[in-house]
């Protein structure tokens, strides 16, 4: 296992910068001093571990985990993929948490003000842990787009939020998954905080007809890449290579 080396430096030109005026909330919430570059220490190279025991049987089933009087409304989908590191090695035991709006584009949150209705059978949150090959999957309802108070008429494309714990605090990541073919992706001020088109495309899940469940659910494939670790030269070989 090459799990002891420090992590590759984060490519900050691939991630969105902190200050992105088209996304207005970032203006007052973006640090202006340069970040202090720091070699990874043990404080960043370690991280919490989450046991499979912490996960309940319905935690990766958003169609059933909040349903009370029936099934939630909307297109049923399966989202699946792998968590890999930048060396293309699978990341087993990664905790993924996800949250989303319902099919009408409404979040279950007391501060949500969009007039689309709440779905009484949809909570909008789930979680899972990757298996030994780094694989994960969950079942949900495809979220709807919704308007938000940024510009006068800004809308978010359909998306699912992901929070990812890999093996170290340095790998901690929150991101959003978008859906193949959605024209609204390219009009969104939050998506466009990402400077590189290829980086945006990395967030667009592919529609996978082959893995759709006939007469039940469409499938979308979304692989997630966490930071890779440098190999540690160990005696006369590169550990992990």
The residue (of 68 and 209) whose beta carbon lies closer to other proteins is 68
Strand (E) or helix (H) holding 225: strand 224-226
CB of 214 to other proteins, least distance (A): 28
CB of 86 to other proteins, least distance (A): 5
Which has the closest alpha carbon to 189: 147, 150, 144, 146?
150
Q: Does 103 bind other proteins (CB under 8 A)?
A: no
Separation of alpha carbons 38 and 144, rounded Å: 41
Which has the closest alpha carbon to 87: 3, 146, 145?
3
Q: Does 239 bind other proteins (CB under 8 A)?
A: no
For the annotated catalytic residues, the residue numbers are 107, 146, 156, 159, 161
**Owner of token pair 């399966």:** 78
Q: Does 116 bind other proteins (CB under 8 A)?
A: no
Q: Does 137 bind other proteins (CB under 8 A)?
A: no
- The token pair that represents 189 in the structure block: 């001020």
The residue (of 118 and 218) whose beta carbon lies closer to other proteins is 118
**Owner of token pair 């160990």:** 234
Which has the closest alpha carbon to 229: 12, 39, 11, 6?
6
Q: Which stretch binds other proteins (CB under 8 A): 122-130, 133-141, 212-220, 230-238?
A: 122-130
Q: Which stretch binds other proteins (CB under 8 A): 56-64, 70-78, 138-146, 208-216?
A: 56-64
Separation of alpha carbons 93 and 64, rounded Å: 24
Q: Is 120 exposed, middle or buried (0-12, 13-18, 19+ CB in 10 A)?
A: middle
Residues of this chain, 78-97, that bind other proteins according to CB under 8 A:
84-88, 97
Residues of this chain, 146-205, that bind other proteins according to CB under 8 A:
161, 163-164, 167-170, 172-176, 190-191, 193-194, 198-200, 202-203
Q: Does 129 bind other proteins (CB under 8 A)?
A: no
Q: Does 16 bind other proteins (CB under 8 A)?
A: yes
CB of 49 to other proteins, least distance (A): 6
Q: List the one residue from 21, 46, 233, 241 that touches other proteins (CB under 8 A).
A: 46
Cβ neighbours of residue 30 closer than 8 Å, sequence gap 6 or more: 17, 18, 19, 20
The residue (of 11 and 216) whose beta carbon lies closer to other proteins is 11
Separation of alpha carbons 91 and 83, rounded Å: 5
Q: Which stretch binds other proteins (CB under 8 A): 69-77, 110-118, 138-146, 209-217?
A: 110-118
CB of 143 to other proteins, least distance (A): 12
The residue (of 78 and 85) whose beta carbon lies closer to other proteins is 85
Instruction: Show the beta-strand stretches assigned E in 86-213.
Output: 95-99, 125-129, 135-141, 146-148, 154-156, 159-165, 173-179, 204-207
């Amino acid at each position: 296992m090459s799990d002891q080396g420090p992590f590759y430096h984060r490519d900050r030109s691939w991630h969105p910068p902190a200050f992105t005026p088209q996304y207005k909330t970032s203006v007052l919430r973006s640090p202006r001093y340069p970040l202090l570059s720091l070699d990874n220490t043990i404080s960043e190279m370690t991280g919490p571990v989450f046991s499979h025991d912490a996960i309940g049987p319905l935690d990766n089933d958003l169609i059933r985990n909040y349903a009370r009087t029936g099934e939630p409304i909307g297109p049923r989908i399966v989202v699946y993929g792998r968590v890999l590191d930048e060396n293309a090695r699978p990341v087993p035991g990664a905790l993924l948490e996800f949250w989303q709006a319902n099919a009408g584009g409404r979040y279950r949150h007391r501060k949500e003000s969009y007039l689309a209705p709440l779905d009484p059978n949809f909570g909008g949150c789930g979680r899972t842990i990757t298996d030994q090959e780094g694989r994960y999957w969950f079942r949900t309802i495809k979220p709807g787009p919704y308007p938000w108070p940024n510009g006068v008429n800004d809308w978010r494309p359909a998306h699912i939020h992901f929070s990812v714990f890999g093996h170290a605090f340095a790998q901690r990541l929150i991101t959003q998954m978008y859906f193949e073919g959605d024209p609204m992706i390219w009009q969104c001020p939050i998506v466009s905080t990402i400077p590189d088109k290829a980086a945006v495309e990395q967030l667009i899940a592919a529609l996978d007809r082959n893995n759709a469940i006939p007469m039940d659910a469409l499938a979308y494939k979304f692989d997630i890449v966490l930071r890779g670790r440098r190999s540690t030269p160990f005696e006369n070989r590169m550990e992990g290579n």
